[in-house]
Structure 1
């Protein structure tokens, strides 16, 4: 199969769908048709992968419920940073805690390696996740890894442990900035904005469903002692 300029345009369009997290593929819409080409035409699939690579992206997979999932290479202009979190006035400690919460969500939902191959729906709830993180604080602070992420996780665990679980807002329902339930809500909202989670209001006002996009992103991360400590805590909680 020869590659035309139209094929290049279509490949770029599919990569764009991967970056546009609200888009959903169906059998008949343009996204679904391009996804079908990626899965069935080797030359088109290779073209999409090469084009993504040139933009500093990597295609992780194409799950039916989510569509094409891309992540960033180091230095990519599309890299996600903690400064991209929804709140514009987060201090250094807030961002540390946000990083720990993200690791904890990964460990809570996918404590076993086999979980990353499963498309079972994963549900997380703010208060339950907060209780889980608090139960695992000692394990995280006891890690000795010299990796920068592990060191940040230890500092974040110390900060988290000093914070109140819940502080009420002055004039409305919900947690106020400065407590850990607020921090968890911010991270989950950030994941929703990126197509990695969606609200599940029928199960509770602070309940979320993680998507296949989040599962593939977790499978792509290298791990580290802090993540493994959280996973161990989650596995143990499943047996008690």
Structure 2
């Protein structure tokens, strides 16, 4: 069956909305209208998934509180890399620590696999997350595996993280300075905000963030290996 060009165009428009981190669907705007069509019309949903696939993207879902959630396929032009975290160059240690922090956020907010099915609001705070990752360093540092594996890289990252100071004050303003782990965490969370995976929550504190359904679905799609399992196990012991 031939798909009308208008449907292909509408599907591409919805995918484009999904790629814009700041786009928010409502009942009255074009994004919301297209999203409702995706949820209710199987044929249109198939067209959206085909258009996304052609661009190297996979549709993870369309949660009720958010827009369409996309993830990248291997070698996609839209792939997000740790080197995209900041405009200035990241050295290898920066990238390792950033990757560990992402796993730490996932384990902190979703310590059990079944937590990924919940739409409860998840709040993370920079200092609390830093303390959690530091407490779990020993477990991650003990992971086996070659250095070029995910777990091997996490082990190296844990050792780098442990050597960094938790907090270094800025010279003339509040907040952590570059070179400490709390700065690295704030940087990663800011990066997630730019991609619609988190929101700043100043009413909860100056360094608090709410994770969105986009982040939840992305975590559900990513296999973190033994590193994520170790962080989750530590988090489960803490909250038990």
TM superposition score normalised by structure 2: 0.97
Q: Distance in 2 between matches of 1:128 and 1:56?
A: 36
Q: CA deviation at 1:3?
A: 2.1
Mean CA deviation greater in 65-74 or 147-156: 147-156
Number of equivalent positions: 239
Of residues 139-148 and 56-65 in structure 1, the stretch that sits farther from structure 2 once superposed is 139-148
TM-aligned CA deviation for residue 90 of structure 1: 2.4
Per the alignment, residue 213 of structure 1 pairs with 214
State the SS of the aligned residue for 2:123: strand
Indicate yes or no: 2:177 matched with 1:176.
yes
Q: Greater CA deviation, 166-175 or 230-239?
A: 166-175
Matches within 5 A, 1:122-201: 122-146=122-146, 148-201=149-202
* CA deviation profile, 1:18-67 (whole Å, cap 9, x unmatched): 10010111112100110111111111100000110010000000012111
The answer to whether the aligner puts 1:203 opposite 2:194 as a matched pair is no
The aligned residue for residue 48 of structure 1 is 48
Report whether the alignment pairs 1:16 with 2:27: no
Aligned-pair CA distance for 1:145: 3.7
Equivalent residue number for residue 78 of structure 2: 78
Structure 2 partner of 1:88:
88
Partner of 2:39: 39
In structure 2, the gaps of 5 or more residues are: none
Residues 178 and 184, structure 2, Cα contact 8 Å, conserved in 1: yes
Superposition misfits of 4+ residues, deviation over 3 angstroms: none
Unaligned segments of structure 1, at least 5 residues? none
**In 1, Cα distance between equivalents of 2:36 and 2:197:** 22
Contact 1:145–1:225 (CA under 8 A) maintained in structure 2:
no
3-state SS in 2 of match to 1:60: strand
TM-score, normalising length: structure 1: 0.97
